[in-house]
């Protein structure tokens, strides 16, 4: 009977919750969230803080995207939820994630700057349209 039970019982997994423990360790560091504000400096500060946390805890690169995306909120979360199925795959790396996140944020930053510059345009006497280019 004991021999039969040994055959029936599943073999225990070795370290089944390692990713959960990594995520818990990151959470204990109380990282900030990223809402993809239109401030490139804030985005870089957030990325730098997450990188530092990952380095301290020794989070492997292949786990960083999953953990980091948990800290996306607002517009950043909406962006990620709309692109993740298209982006995630074997060739999607930590570096590629950061590149795409920066591209999305920086394009919004540049657009906002151009909108602000445009709304502040004022035509003064003696100027011609070509001088605004």
Tens digit of pLDDT for each residue in 45-59?
889 999 999 999 999
43 domain-assigned: yes
| Domain-located, residue 7 | no
Residue 12 has pLDDT above 60, yes or no: no
pLDDT of residue 54: 92
Residue 3 belongs to some domain of the structure: no
User: Tokens 């979360």 sit at which residue?
Assistant: 77
| Residues facing 65 on adjacent strands | none
Rounded-to-integer distance, Cα 71 and Cα 41, Å: 17
Count of domains observed in the chain: 1
Q: What is the pLDDT of residues 80-100, one digit of tens each?
A: 888 888 878 878 888 988 888
d(CA 107, CA 87): 18
Greater confidence (41 vs 13) lies with: 41
33 domain residue, yes or no? yes
Contacts of 59 (CB under 8 A, 6+ apart): 22, 26, 53, 67
Range of the domain at 113: 26-118
HSE-CB of 76 using CA atoms within 13 angstroms: 25
Question: Is 70 contained in some domain?
Answer: yes
Residue 40 lies in a domain: yes
pLDDT of amino acid 133: 56
């Amino acid at each position: 009977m004991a021999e039969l039970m040994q055959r029936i019982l599943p073999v225990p997994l070795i370290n089944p919750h390692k990713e959960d423990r990594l995520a818990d360790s990151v959470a204990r560091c109380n990282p900030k969230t990223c809402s993809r504000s239109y401030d490139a400096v804030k985005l870089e500060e957030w990325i730098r803080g997450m990188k530092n946390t990952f380095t301290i805890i020794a989070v492997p690169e292949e786990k960083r995207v999953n953990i980091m995306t948990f800290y996306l909120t607002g517009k950043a979360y909406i962006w990620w939820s709309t692109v993740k199925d298209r982006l995630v795959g074997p060739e999607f790396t930590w570096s590629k994630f950061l590149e795409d996140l920066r591209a999305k944020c920086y394009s919004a930053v540049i657009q906002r700057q151009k909108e602000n510059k445009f709304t502040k345009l004022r035509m003064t006497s003696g100027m011609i349209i070509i001088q605004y280019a």
